[in-house]
Structure 1
Amino acid sequence: MAPTREMSLETKERIVKLLEEGNSSRMVAKDVGCSQSAVSKIWTKYKQHGMVVKAKRTGRPRKTSKRQDKQLKAICLENRKSTTKQMKHKWEEVGVNVCDRTVRNRLKEMGFQYRKAKRKPALTPKHKRTRLQWAKERQSWTVDDWMKVVFSDESRICIGQGDDAGTFVWCRSSEIYEEACLKKTTKFPQSLMIWGCMSGKGTGEMTVVNSSINAQVYIDILDSFLIPSIEQMYLQEKLDRKWGMFCVFAVQVLYLWESL
C-alpha cells in the first residue's frame, strides 16, 4: 500500500483556527478537503500539546518521487521484455539510484506483474478483419449449429529447438494480449507436422505430414482422413458423402485464412 501524504503545517493551523472560531469538525473537514476523523485527531493533539505538532512517521522514507515513478513506468512500457536490472540501469541514467527490489516494488504498485508472454500467431491487419467478420457472421449460431461443424488444423512438434522457451514480460492483468506483451509465433517452421480434426461428436483421425503443405497435399489429407473421420463421427445420423463435403467446405475457411 502506498504511503499517505503528510498534511502540511499550514493546513493543520487552519483547522485549529476554524475549530476555535466555533465551526463544526464536519464543516472544517469540508473546507480544507480532508476527512472528519483527521480533523478530530489534529484537534485532540493540539489540546494535548497546546500547539500544532508534526507527527513522527515510522518506516524508511520513500526513495522515489511520483515524477520518478512515472519515469520508471515509461521505461517499462518502452520495452515490456526488460528485466528489473535493465530497467534499474536505465532509471539510473535519469538520476534515480535504487536497488532491483525497489524497481520491482514500484512496478507492482502500478499493477505490473512479471509473467510469461502469451503465444499468438503474427496476424496481419487483413487477417484480423477477415476473422472478425467470420465471427460476427456466426455469433448467433446455436449449439446444434456448431455440432455440425468439423474443425481441422496442423500442429508442429519441435524437437531440440529453443524457440519454445518461455518469455517473460511486465504487464497488467488487462494487458496480457497487448502487442507489446505477446510472444509472436510463426507458421510452417521446419519441423514435424501433425494433422488432426475434431467436432462436437468427438475426435477424428490423425496423420503425420511429411512434406510442406500446399493445396494438393491439403486436398489429399481432406480426402484420405477428413472424410472418413466425418463418416465415422456422424455414422449414427447416416450422413451421405454430400454432407461430408459440405463440412469440408466449412473447414477449409481456416486454411484459406492462413494462405491469405
Structure 2
Amino acid sequence: MGCHLCNKSIRDISWLLNIPRSTVSGIITKWKQLGTTATQPPSGRPRKMTEWGQHMLKRTVRRSHQLSAESIAKDIQTSCGLQISTTTVRRDLHGMGFHGRAAAAKPYITKCNAKRRMQWCKARHHWTLEQGRCVL
C-alpha cells in the first residue's frame, strides 16, 4: 500500500500540504540522494569559542574596554580554560559589534580660555537666533 502523495507532482504536494514548492523539491531530492530526510551533521570544523566563552569575552571587554586582543585572549584562557588565538578574539569581537578605535584627542580647556569663552557668551546672551546663526 503506497502513500497517497507518491504519484502527485511537486506542485500538487505543495498545494495539499500548504508549503513552498522549493521545500517539497528539496525534501524529495534529499530522499532520493540520501535515503533519509534527517538533518545531516554540519560540514566544517566546529567553532572553538563556545557560547559561555563568548559571554565571558563580552563581559571582559565591557569591564575594561581598552585591553588588547592578546591580553583578552590570555584572560579568557585563564578564566575559561579555552586555548584561543588573538585572531579568534578579534573575529568574535567584530561579530559582537566591538571594533577597535583610537580615542579622539580632545584638548583640555585652560582656565584662561574658559574665562574668555564665558565673557564672550555673557556679552552676547541677548542676541537673537539670527545673530547667533551669523557666527556659526
TM-score interval, normalised by the smaller of the two chains: 0.5 to 0.7
Find the counterpart in structure 2 of residue 57 from structure 1: 42
Deviation at 1:84, TM superposition (A): 0.5
1:37 and 1:71 map into 2 onto residues whose CA distance is 41
Give the number of aligned pairs.
106
Q: TM-score, normalised by structure 1?
A: 0.34
Please list, as runs of the form range in 1=range in 2, the aligned pairs for 1:51-200 lying within 5 A after superposition: 51-55=36-40, 57-93=42-78, 94-120=80-106, 142-147=129-134, 199=135
1:75 and 1:38 map into 2 onto residues whose CA distance is 43
Identity of aligned residues (%): 27
Where structure 1 has 5 or more consecutive residues not aligned to the other structure, the ranges are: 1-18, 30-35, 123-133, 148-198, 201-260
Partner of 2:105: helix, strand, or coil?
Answer: strand
Where structure 2 has 5 or more consecutive residues not aligned to the other structure, the ranges are: 7-12, 109-120
Deviation at 1:40, TM superposition (A): 4.5
Partner of 1:118: helix, strand, or coil?
Answer: coil
CA 1:98/1:116 → structure 2, altered by over 3 Å: closer, same or farther? Answer: same
1:59 and 1:112 map into 2 onto residues whose CA distance is 26
Find the counterpart in structure 1 of residue 17 from structure 2: 24
Q: TM-score, normalised by structure 2?
A: 0.59
2:89 and 2:26 map into 1 onto residues whose CA distance is 35
Partner of 2:101: helix, strand, or coil?
Answer: strand
Find the counterpart in structure 1 of residue 27 from structure 2: 42
Instruction: State the Cα RMSD in Å.
Output: 3.4
Q: Indicate the structure with greater strand content.
A: 1
CA 1:49/1:60 → structure 2, altered by over 3 Å: closer, same or farther? Answer: closer
